[in-house]
Amino acid sequence: MNGSSQGIRQADLQEMTMQQQAPSGYDLFQPTEEAALLRQTVRQFVEREVEPQAARHEREERFNRELFRRLGELGLLGITVPEDWGGAGMDAVAAVIAHEEITASDPGLGLSYLAHSMLFVNNFFHNSNQTQREKYLEKVLSGEWVAGMCMSEPEGGTDIQAMRSTAVKSGGNYILNGRKMWVTNGCLDDHNPGDVFLVYARTGAKISTFVVDRTMEGFSLGQKIRDKAGMRSSPTAELVFSDCRVPAENLLGAEGESLIHMMRNLELERLTLAAMALGIARRCLDEMNRYAGQRTAFGQPINQFGQIQRHIGESYAEFSAGRCLVYDVARRLRLEQPGMRLETDAAKLYTATMAKNVADRAIQVLGGYGYVGEYSVERLWRAAKLLEIGGGTMEAHQKNITRDLSRNPRFFR
Ligand SMILES: Cc1cc2nc3c(=O)[nH]c(=O)nc-3n(C[C@H](O)[C@H](O)[C@H](O)COP(=O)(O)OP(=O)(O)OC[C@H]3O[C@@H](n4cnc5c(N)ncnc54)[C@H](O)[C@@H]3O)c2cc1C
């Protein structure tokens, strides 16, 4: 071809490519000065205050209430809430940065942070009215109250339509009955429930969302769930609603709107869970790389052995691929506007298993030392498994991706 009118001209292609390229010097992982500063601030906070307590709280299965309040002081609990409402007014990239950094040290704290700031705060903010915001927002942004979200039930999590909890209108209240399982931040300790929750319940054929707080009659802690494989510094509980009287003004949006609320929030939830996976993988990579340079066997550092190089090399490549995927999706995600379901499902599907595999290789590289607590990789390995289950199982992501692709078979552009 000689640049004829039928063919695409090389010069046109070059020009098109240049137009599509990000400006030179663009950093996908901290695209603005604000994002870079956020990463630096959270990283310093993590080094000074999170890392020293992480292993102990995990071992003791204890939520660090004071440290959680510090997240509020740093403005992290309302990271996606506009400044007019007391939040940090930041975007999805910022949310990803905060989750990656915290989880690289303490996945349990990362999970509690996610349940509070994403599952509760972000969802509540986008679907609440002025009165509801005035009543609850300050308490949850400061960290005075610990919040969470109650969707899963003892009989099922993936199948939302099988939900059994009900809410029936009676005068100025809804009477809420049901049990919610696996609620992150559901309790603060063995005896006290968390402070406020978004609770999904059936109102007739459809599902509605309620804001339920600990002052409401008929709301109690069923049990603190102990002995989790990992994420033990994040409290998980079963909550019980027994003729719980929820004022009608605590209905979020209109009756039957829960699916809209879930859809609006789910993309950011999945993306930040994927960011947690990045944190776990990055820390494990860091640990195995350092250890393999120091540990010697047969007269040389073990990073001279091809099989160890394979563990490190593959981990780095997979982590890098996952990181690019997550930050690219974050860059394109608009908080107010759903439309990235396929991409966020893919980000979580890929990074959850990637993190588990990288953590597994880290243990292998550290040998016996990897299998005990001192180097943290076994704690991160146990934590990584949750990301294949919570916030959507791997099978659910596979199903969603296939459904979305089948509706749009020409998605490759
Ligand atoms: C530590 C922890 C914290 C959590 N935090 C919260 C929280 O804060 N709030 C909350 O609401 N929930 C929370 N969860 C619950 C979590 O989201 C659920 O465990 C998850 O959605 C799966 O639900 P399930 O456990 O009932 O499994 P099930 O839905 O019973 O699934 C069991 C298995 O069947 C598979 N399966 C189900 N349906 C299909 C299908 N159609 N096709 C193929 N396979 C299928 C699943 O993928 C899985 O492998 C948490 C869970 C844990 C462990």
| pLDDT tens digits along 195-244 | 999 999 999 999 999 999 999 999 999 999 999 999 999 999 999 999 99
**pLDDT score, position 413:** 60
> Could you confirm whether 269 is annotated as catalytic?
yes
Atom of ligand 1 nearest to the CA of 158: 29
Helix (H) or strand (E) holding 103: helix 92-103
Asked whether 121 and 78 are in contact (CB, 8 A), the reply is yes
Please tell me the total count of domains within the chain: 3
Q: pTM of this prediction?
A: 0.94
Both 151 and 127 in one domain: the answer is no
Residue 317 CA to ligand 1 centre (angstroms): 29
Residue where a domain stops, chosen among 252, 271, 289: 252
CATH of the domain at 287: 1.20.140.10
In which domain, by residue range, is 384 found? 258-407
Distance in angstroms (rounded) separating the CA atoms of residues 269 and 123: 10
Cα end-to-end span (Å), the chain:
23
Both 274 and 246 in one domain: the answer is no
Residue 111 domain flag: yes
CATH of the domain at 190: 2.40.110.10
Both 288 and 214 in one domain: the answer is no
HSE (side-chain half, CA atoms, 13 Å) at 411: 12
Give the DSSP letter of residue 193: B
Residue 137 domain flag: yes
Residue 25 domain flag: no
Neighbours of 317 (CB within 10 A): 11
Both 363 and 267 in one domain: the answer is yes
Residue where a domain stops, chosen among 142, 163, 182: 142
Closest to 152 (Cα-Cα) out of 126, 177, 178, 127: 178
Both 277 and 373 in one domain: the answer is yes
**pLDDT by residue (tens digit) across 34-72?**
999 999 999 999 999 999 999 999 999 999 999 999 999
| Atom 42 of ligand 1, residue of closest alpha carbon | 395
Across the range 142-146, mean pLDDT stands at 98
Distance in angstroms (rounded) separating the CA atoms of residues 183 and 262: 16
Both 395 and 274 in one domain: the answer is yes
Residue 393 CA to ligand 1 centre (angstroms): 6
Distance in angstroms (rounded) separating the CA atoms of residues 120 and 145: 11
Residue 413 CA to ligand 1 centre (angstroms): 34
Q: Spell out where 190-349 has E strands.
A: 196-203, 206-213, 219-224, 236-247, 251-252, 296-297, 300-301
CATH of the domain at 126: 1.10.540.10
